[in-house]
Structure 1
Amino acid sequence: MLRLILKNTKQILLYTVLGLLFLNTQCEEEDNLVNDSFCDFTTIINTSKYNNLNSDDFNFINAEINEDCLEVTIGASGCDGNSWEFSLIDSGAVAESSPEQRYLKIDFDNEELCLAYFEKKVSFNLTSVQVEGSSKIMLHIDGLDEPLEYVY
């Protein structure tokens, strides 16, 4: 009886492992379809939001473009930074120059009422601000001294 139970357990274990291996091979195609999975947030194109934006105070520590993501590190007062909310808002306007230029603002919402200072790194997907027929644009981000070149 014990032999029969061990044999059935081994077969179940073998089929389970084989099934998991099969399922693991199915994920490769799905990973290629999602191109923005490594960015934290999407970029919103909205003229009204851009013009009426009242963001809470923060400091830019660093800003750079990594592939299709704008990665920013900001600093602000707070308790731990876990409740901070972010949006990247594009004005919707494209300056017709070479290269084209776009204008953006970070909407930062901080309801934390602590005096400590924290830094946090977040990223925004930039594919929605790409200009058709162009391979690069200059991004003017409110609060940064210099525009960032986005090559795609």
Structure 2
Amino acid sequence: MIKKTLFTVSVILCFVNMQCEDNDTNLPNEYCDKATVINEDLYNNLVSDHFDLIDADINNDCIAIKIAASGCDGSTWELHLVDSGAVAESSPEQRYLKLQLLNTELCDAYFEKVISFDLTPLQISGSNDIILHLEGLESSLNYTY
């Protein structure tokens, strides 16, 4: 419990820290549910509750991710999409992402949920195409902007 609390506090501090940067407001665009976090330390030390990654699809500047996990109804699940901050210099460039689920629900039911994340913070100046590697997804996704 202490480990989850410390991690949640560190995620919140990352959000606060990122809001000070001029080019990253850390707010999702109006069509996405949540913002994507770019943080190498968070990516490398990510701790998540168990979930099954069912599917992911890019629509405009949002990635919709469908997951399933045990719980009471999924209404209290906290989901975060974290980018490593590293950009593989290829053509097109590549980025690496992990999804985190914080699940405090103690029920045995199994629910599916779709949540979307804003991809605009991942855009690279001078490029209009990125390959996204989402951990747990069998194939990569092509994000064109």
TM over 0.5: yes
Q: CA deviation at 1:62?
A: 1.5
Structure 2: distance between partners of 1:103 and 1:115: 32
Residue 105 of structure 2: which of 109, 112, 115 is its match?
Answer: 112
The alignment-based identity, stated in percent, is 57
Structure 2: distance between partners of 1:35 and 1:126: 8
Residue 60 of structure 1: which of 53, 56, 65 is its match?
Answer: 53
Alignment of 1:129 onto 2:122: yes
Structure 1 equivalent of residue 91 of structure 2: 98
Unpaired runs of 5+ residues, structure 2, are 1-26
Offset from partner CA, 1:73-128 (integer Å, 9 cap, x none): 11000000000001110000000000000000011101111110000110000000
What SS does structure 2 have at the residue aligned with 1:128?
helix
Structure 2: distance between partners of 1:146 and 1:38: 24
User: Could you say what the CA RMSD is over the residues aligned between the two structures, in angstroms?
Assistant: 1.3
Q: CA deviation at 1:42?
A: 0.4
Amino acid at match of 2:55: N
TM-score norm. by structure 2 comes to 0.80
Q: Which contiguous aligned blocks of 4+ residues in structure 1 show a shift greater than 6 angstroms? A: none
Structure 1: distance between partners of 2:42 and 2:28: 26
Structure label with greater radius of gyration: 1
Superposition map of 1:1-152 within 5 A = 36-152=29-145
Q: Which has the higher helix share?
A: 1
Structure 2: distance between partners of 1:56 and 1:134: 35
